[in-house]
Amino acid sequence: MKITHEPQSHRYVLSDGEQFLGEVEYYQEGTTLNLVRAEVPLEHRGDGLGIPLVKGTLEAIRAEGGLTVRPVCPYIAKYMMKNTEFDELKG
């Protein structure tokens, strides 16, 4: 599975190389990405894709550098509270 940033669509996409498996949508204010929604398609819910989607998105944001995040989505906020290795991204 891999995460791809699609800045023109304001989202990060999880795929298996062929199939769309989920997305994190955001809007940007300066250098802060407001992560507003994490969604896995209905047919893939329950497949354990939420964590790889959010973790992969946060790792991609960290790798891009120079950005902070504001977790508006409750799922992402909860993930970040439990996984303090992403604390440096909080804006």
CATH no. for residue 45? Answer: 3.40.630.30
Burial class (CB in 10 A: 0-12, 13-18, 19+), 57: buried
Q: Across the chain, what does the average pLDDT equal?
A: 96
Q: Which helix (H) or strand (E) holds 59?
A: helix 50-64
Does the pLDDT at position 20 exceed 90? yes
How many domains, in total, are found in the chain? 1
Mean pLDDT of 16-36: 96
Buried b or exposed e, range 33-45, using 16+ CB within 10 angstroms = bbbbebebeeeee
d(Cα 66, Cα 49) in Å, to the nearest integer?
27
Quote the pLDDT of residue 17.
86
Quote the pLDDT of residue 21.
97
Mean pLDDT of 32-42: 97
Q: Which helix (H) or strand (E) holds 52?
A: helix 50-64
Structural domain for 58, as ranges: 2-89
